[in-house]
């Protein structure tokens, strides 16, 4: 019985070491938090995914996931091969394809800001680890986004459904950019794809 306790204690210590070692290369540890807002019915959840592929001679790859549920918009980003130690500008752009990407629709910064409300570059974007890894998430209420569009772009949406129709996420693309410039060329891009439950 004593040997079994020692083995279990050793396994637990190893697991803690592994978690600490894995967390060392991430800007922000992945969250195991519940979905924002009330869970609701799966039929009421919208889920989008973007596989960001390298552009030019970049090696930067990323996966972007967007959830809309319970009156909240949540974005999760997992990237590798970006500029180490730098805030990484990233956005959802207005065009459906990557070339050209078009103007910025939504900044994927800490506040999920819109153009005019938040800058397209700077310290509000997640900072890559020393290994060039970005791993973070941000959440914003749809009501707050509606207010932002009214305040900063004079666009009024009566309902969340109106806002989502305007965002038209399944017909957009996403980019990550270099952290310094101008210009701030894109290092990767991908088209937003809706995933059906």
The C-alpha atoms of residue 67 and residue 47 are separated, in whole angstroms, by 5
The pLDDT of residue 39 is 52
pLDDT at 71 exceeding the cut of 90: yes
The C-alpha atoms of residue 29 and residue 197 are separated, in whole angstroms, by 27
The pLDDT of residue 21 is 36
Question: Average pLDDT of the chain?
Answer: 84
The pLDDT of residue 16 is 35
The per-residue pLDDT for range 78-91, each reduced to its tens digit, is 999 999 999 999 99
pLDDT at 183 exceeding the cut of 80: yes
The per-residue pLDDT for range 148-174, each reduced to its tens digit, is 999 999 999 999 999 999 999 999 999
Tokens of 35: 């979905």
* CATH number, domain with residue 55: 2.60.40.200
Total residue length of the chain: 197
pLDDT at 94 exceeding the cut of 80: yes
* Total count of domains within the chain: 1
Can you give the pTM of this predicted structure?
A: 0.79
Can you give the residue range of the structural domain that contains 12?
2-195
Confidence of residue 196 (pLDDT cuts 50, 70, 90): confident
Decide: helix, strand or coil at residue 2: helix
The pLDDT of residue 75 is 98
Neighbours of 184 (CB within 10 A): 14
DSSP letter, residue 103:
S
**Low-confidence winner among 32-36, 47-51, 105-109 (lowest mean pLDDT):** 32-36
- Is residue 119 classed exposed, middle or buried when 0-12, 13-18 and 19+ CB atoms within 10 A define those classes? middle
The pLDDT of residue 197 is 65
**Low-confidence winner among 41-55, 114-128, 156-170 (lowest mean pLDDT):** 41-55
The pLDDT of residue 68 is 97
pLDDT > 90 fraction of the chain, expressed in percent and rounded: 73
Q: Residues near 190 by Cβ (< 8 Å), separated by ≥ 6?
A: 50, 51, 52, 53, 62, 64, 98, 173, 174
The residue-averaged pLDDT of 74-78 equals: 98
């Amino acid at each position: 019985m004593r040997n079994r306790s020692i083995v279990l204690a050793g396994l637990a210590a190893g697991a803690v070491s592994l978690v600490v070692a894995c967390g060392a290369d991430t800007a922000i540890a992945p969250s195991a938090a519940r979905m924002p807002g009330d869970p609701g019915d799966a039929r009421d959840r919208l889920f989008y995914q973007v596989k960001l592929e390298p552009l030019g001679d970049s090696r930067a790859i990323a996966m972007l996931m967007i959830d809309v549920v319970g009156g909240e918009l949540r974005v999760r980003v997992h990237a590798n091969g970006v500029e180490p130690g730098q805030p990484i500008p990233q956005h959802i752009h207005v065009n459906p394809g990557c070339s050209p990407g078009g103007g910025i629709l939504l900044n994927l910064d800490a506040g999920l800001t819109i153009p005019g409300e938040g800058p397209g570059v700077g310290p509000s974007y997640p900072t890559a680890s020393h290994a060039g890894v970005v791993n973070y998430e941000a959440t914003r209420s749809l009501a707050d986004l509606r207010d932002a569009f009214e305040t900063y772009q004079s666009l009024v949406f009566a309902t969340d459904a109106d806002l989502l129709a305007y965002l038209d996420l399944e017909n957009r693309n996403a980019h990550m950019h270099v952290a310094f410039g101008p210009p701030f060329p894109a290092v990767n891009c991908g088209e937003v794809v809706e995933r059906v439950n």
